[in-house]
A = this chain, B = another copy of it.
């Protein structure tokens, strides 16, 4: 189950954060996207409803969301980060390296690997990021033409 806008909003106010229209808009974008979004991408989408929003506000809100556990910061190629809504269940992505299509898939069993890593390194493993890169069917076909 995906964290709803409402839940996030409640969690925010519980921690003393105020709920502003800008934050609502950012939360909506994060909560309804299944993609990894860079702060700039979030900004672009929010911008459509709130042309006066600042990129700075997006950065600050994303940081708060990450702090309260509703978003997760992940590392992308090329020195820019992106955020995903933290999903309670495991959700992973299959990304087409040509056209960018993203397919989600649920479930993966890494618990064994996690346990053994935890034992070896002393890390307390909290989550993982798994992403496959490849070519989608369409792009494979196009490549043949």
Contact = CB atoms under 8 A, between A and B. Distances in A.
A106 to B, nearest CB: 11
A133 B129 contact: yes
A76 B81 CA distance: 10
A80 B123 CA distance: 22
A108 B132 CA distance: 13
Contacts of A81: 79
A130 B133 contact: no
Given A108-B113, A113-B108, A117-B105, A135 B130 contact: no
A132 B81 CA distance: 16
A134 interface: yes
A94 interface: yes
Nearest to A72: B133
Contact of A117 (B80, B94, B137): B94
